[in-house]
Homo-oligomer: A and B are copies of this chain.
Amino acid sequence: MIAEKKTTKSLILEATERLVAENGFESVSLRDITNDAQVNVAAVNYHFGSKEKLFEAIQCRYIDPVNEERLKMLEELTGEGRVATVREILEAFMRPFLTVVKGSEMSEKLFFKLMGRCVMDPQGGLPEDMVPGMKRVAETFTKALLTAAPNLTTELVLWRLHFTFGVMAQTLLHGELLYSLTDGACGDPDAEDQFQEMIGFCEAGFLAEKGAQK
């Protein structure tokens, strides 16, 4: 569990998560946060040091667990000489979003949006102390994918992982946009369905030949 008691600090974190998920990092002010959390303005600087550090805390709070879960799932797939499929590896890459949100108190919709913000608008780049973790994930998954699809080159895997990131971020952030843009014609699949579609799409992309001429 991540949030238990309604301390001032946790009130600030929760309000920030809500506001950032809905409006993005750049549009949320200290007053927005402290009003929403029913807390004094000075409390943010007292507990977090600065607005920027508060935002870094927000970014680490769920992404770190997601990355841990990713590595754990991957280890279970590939440890002790086991061989994993591309699909299984992609699942290890994406499913942690679903499992971590279950352990939090946030609604799925809000959590996904917040994660999308972290991936797409990381306030002034990724927080410095998240970079090693992200690199580790990228490297470990790249290696696993290269083993699972030995016909691919490292560069190709990196690019396709990058594309996969895009699919994920878009789905996390803008699930609603598609709904409104198509007047609901896209249906209203639940998170697990969307998740399977995402994986299916990216799996096929990964298994394609280079350049994939028709």
Q: Which A residues are closer than 8 A to B by beta carbons?
A: 24, 26-27, 85, 87, 120-121, 131, 134-135, 138, 154-156, 158-160, 162-163, 165-171, 173-174, 178, 181-182, 185-187, 189, 194, 196-214
Q: Which secondary structure dominates where chain A touches chain B?
A: helix
Report the copy number of this chain in the oligomer: 2
Residues of B with C-beta under 8 A to A166: 166-171
Are B87 and A160 in contact, CB atoms less than 8 angstroms apart? no
User: Per a CB cutoff under 8 Å, which of B24, B162, B173, B186 touches A155?
Assistant: B186
Residues of B with C-beta under 8 A to A185: 154-155, 158
Residues of B with C-beta under 8 A to A174: 162
Residues of B with C-beta under 8 A to A171: 162-163, 166
CA distance A213 to B166 in the complex (A): 21
User: Could you give 18 example pairs across A and B, Cβ below 8 Å?
Assistant: A24-B121, A87-B212, A135-B182, A155-B189, A156-B197, A158-B178, A158-B186, A159-B186, A159-B194, A162-B171, A162-B174, A163-B170, A163-B171, A163-B201, A166-B170, A201-B205, A201-B212, A205-B205
Are B204 and A212 in contact, CB atoms less than 8 angstroms apart? yes
Are B155 and A187 in contact, CB atoms less than 8 angstroms apart? yes
Are A159 and B212 in contact, CB atoms less than 8 angstroms apart? no
Q: Beyond the given A134-B181, A154-B185, A197-B210, could you list 16 further A-B residue pairs with CB under 8 A, ordered by the A residue number?
A: A121-B121, A138-B182, A155-B186, A158-B186, A160-B201, A162-B174, A163-B202, A166-B169, A167-B167, A167-B170, A169-B169, A197-B211, A199-B212, A200-B210, A201-B205, A203-B212
User: Per a CB cutoff under 8 Å, which of B134, B154, B169, B204 touches A204?
Assistant: B204
Residues of B with C-beta under 8 A to A213: 200
User: Per a CB cutoff under 8 Å, which of B158, B163, B168, B181 touches A138?
Assistant: B181
User: From residue A151, how far is it (CB to closest CB) to chain B in Å?
Assistant: 14
